[in-house]
Every structure is written in C-alpha cells, then in structure tokens.
Amino acid sequence: MKIKELLVKDNNNLDVFRLIAAFMVIYGHAFAIAPQAGKFDLISQWIGFGYSGSLAVIIFFFISGLVVANSLMEKKSVVHFLISRVFRIFPALIFVVLGSGFFIGPLVTNLTVSEYFSNHLLYKYIVGNIFLDTSYALPGVFENNKYPSVVNGSLWTLPYEMAAYLGLVAIFMLGGFRSKIFSIAIFSIFFADPFWGGKLIFTWQTQNAEVDFLIPSFALGVIVAIFKDELEVDGRFVIGLLLIYFLFRKASYAFVLLHLSIFAFVLWLSAKNWMKKLKPKIDLSYGVYLWGFPVQQVFAHYIPNSGIFLNQILSIMVALVCAWISWHLVEEKSIAVGKVLIKKWTQHV
C-alpha cells in the first residue's frame, strides 16, 4: 500500500500505536517511580540504548510529523493547521495541569492547605506548564517519593512538539513544500543535525540524548509525508530493514536502523485489515500520556512499596479512566470548537 493510501483516515490504525506508545511511557517510568531490585526495562535490555519511554516518544513524534505534515499539505491552510493543533494540544494540557495543581496537589502535599495555596510554586507550575515553560514541582508534593518532587515528568516533550509544528508552518510559509528536492534538503538537515557533533541548527539545545531523537523522528515523518505518492511499505520492506539492523547492530549508528525498522513496522501493521478493525472509537492516547506520570506518582505516594508491576497496571487503568474523562469533558468539545472556528474562517476568506 502506498503511503498516500495509508494516510486516508479509515485505511490505518495509527491510533492504537499512539495508545500503545502511551502505555510504554507508563511502563518505562515505573522503573524510576517505583524501583524494584532485579527488575529492569525489557525494551532497554533488548535494544541496548534508551528505554521504553524514550522509544515511545520518538514513535509519537514520527507519527505526528507524518500526519500533521500530510494535513498541512492537503489543506494548504496555515490557519486551519494552527487552530487544529492549538485546540488539540492545549485544552487537555490545561486540564491536567489544573487537575494536578488544584486537586492532586492539595491531597498529597505535606503542607497545610493555606501554605500550599499561598506558595508561589503552585502558580509557577500552572502558568509555566500552560505556556510550555515546563515546571515539575508543586509545593510539598511527592517530596518523599522515590522519584521526588516531580509531578508530571511527561510534560517536557510538549514544547518540542509545538516547536516542531511552528517550524513546519514556517517552512510551509516560506515555500519549502513547493519543490520536493528543496523539501527533502531542508528536512534531511533537520533529520541529520543532532548526529553532527557541532549541532549546526539546534545550537541552544541541552545535552539530552532523548531530545536528540525528537526532531529527527518528526522530520522523518515529514519526509515520508512529502513522498507519500512514491513510498510504499510492505512486509518485505520491513523485514529488509530488520535484516540490515541485525547485520549492523554493533555499529555506532545501529539505533538509527532500529528506529527506521520500527517506524516502517508501525506503518505496515497499521494498514493491515485485521488491525484496522481494532481501531479505537476515541483517541485516548494523549490523555493517557498526560495523566500517566502524576497517576504513577500518586500510587507511589500512597503505596510506596507496591513494586513496579502493580504501579504499571494500576496506573494504566486509572490513566485510561482519566483520559476517558479528559476526552469527553475537554478534548472532544475543544476539537469541535476548533472545527467551528475553522469553518467560520473559511467562510470569510
């Protein structure tokens, strides 16, 4: 199947892979939040670099780059793109930030209620995270946890995601998509930049290996979207990539080959007929991602010696419930509002 066909809404089940990736984040974080002697991240042991959470995040970024770039090229409207992204990202983010600050925080803080609500950290956490200036601590919250004082360790990726969206829009507005040769040149540089020691583009970036994988994964997704008419993914292609990875698995660049294999596998499997039948009716992946970490910390607070497995299972179940509430209470409605605004804009231009 051509990528162009795969990207038709009912021709794929990328939603289930986003949900699996959100579960992987919870699975991976449990080893830091509820550490247990002799228990290790199986994915980390298998691939030899990173861990399940970091792998999940780059899957998110690859799928995001692919889907949003395709949407921008199809609609050819910056306003449509920005409204869609803002009303998809921020309402759920505001919901989890306010829920953490005004509900979870007062329940678990070691301060009095008046001390908690008068502490500047509360408002720094709320305002900072809503405006994508990531803040982790709430006053007196989770200070005695094994992973102390971090309320939501998953929020750090959102500024990078929004930066990727804005960069994509900037390149579109500058005419970067008018020529495939020009497009591939631009996004190939974005893909390769973190692998150059000098970081020619992202010179301000912190020394964080997880960050280094985000923009390349997003850029690769964009490249696939640009060449959706020519590219095709089938089982033979996936096996071929896996064989190349196996042959060069001891090379310093083996992680690139593995990531390419995983991305190709996700696309191929998402288009299988039996997989499409498993497509969720609602998209809970973003909500699970947002709520997973604070839920895990709550369980670590109340059941400090629960162990990794119990923390993972309980957190996934409760995060799903929180995500369901977030979808029906916030996300579904905000997406609908965004569509109304887009329709009104379209009528006036």
pLDDT band at 206 (very low <50, low <70, confident <90, very high): low
Backbone angles phi, psi at 195, to 5 degrees: -85, -5
pLDDT tens-digit profile of 98-149?
A: 999 999 999 999 999 999 999 999 999 999 999 999 999 999 999 999 999 9
* Beta carbons within 10 angstroms of residue 180's beta carbon: 13
Mean pLDDT for the stretch of residues 166-188: 86
> Please, what is the average pLDDT of the chain?
91
3 state DSSP class of 232: strand
How much is the pLDDT for 199? 62
Mean pLDDT for the stretch of residues 281-303: 97
3 state DSSP class of 322: helix
Backbone angles phi, psi at 2, to 5 degrees: -65, 150
| Higher pLDDT, residue 44 or 193 | 44
Residue found by looking up tokens 């899957």 in the block: 59
Query: How far is 105 from 92, CA to CA, in rounded Å?
Result: 18
Which residues share a beta bridge with 2? 232
Query: How far is 210 from 335, CA to CA, in rounded Å?
Result: 30
pLDDT tens-digit profile of 46-74?
A: 877 778 999 999 999 999 999 999 999 99
pLDDT above 80 for 205: no
How much is the pLDDT for 250? 84
Contact 16, 285 (CB under 8 A): no
Which residues share a beta bridge with 232? 2
Query: How far is 186 from 182, CA to CA, in rounded Å?
Result: 6
Q: Which candidate, 272, 186, 173, 276, places its Cα nearest to that of 222?
A: 186
Query: How far is 86 from 338, CA to CA, in rounded Å?
Result: 8
Q: Is the dihedral of CA 7, 10, 15, 17 positive or negative?
A: negative
pLDDT tens-digit profile of 225-269?
A: 999 999 988 899 999 999 999 998 888 788 888 999 999 999 999
DSSP code at position 135: -
Query: How far is 188 from 98, CA to CA, in rounded Å?
Result: 39
pTM comes to 0.93
Cβ neighbors of 188 (< 8 A, separation 6 or more) are 219, 223
Mean pLDDT for the stretch of residues 90-101: 98
Please tell me the total number of residues recorded for the chain in this structure: 349
How much is the pLDDT for 156? 95
How much is the pLDDT for 139? 97
Question: What tokens does 82 get?
Answer: 């920005």
**Chain center to CA of 101:** 22
Quote the percentage of the chain above a pLDDT of 70.
Answer: 95
- For 318-328, letters b (16+ CB in 10 Å) and e give bbbebbeebbe
| Higher pLDDT, residue 343 or 194 | 343
- Separation in Å, CA 251 to CA 167, 193, 246, 272: 32, 19, 10, 32
Query: How far is 279 from 216, CA to CA, in rounded Å?
Result: 27
How much is the pLDDT for 198? 52
DSSP element (H, E) containing 140: none
pLDDT band at 169 (very low <50, low <70, confident <90, very high): very high
pLDDT above 90 for 347: no
pLDDT band at 12 (very low <50, low <70, confident <90, very high): very high
Mean pLDDT for the stretch of residues 6-13: 90
Mean pLDDT for the stretch of residues 285-312: 96
Measured CA angle at 228 (ends 224, 231), to 5 deg: 80
The radius of gyration of the chain from alpha carbons, rounded to an integer in Å, stands at 21
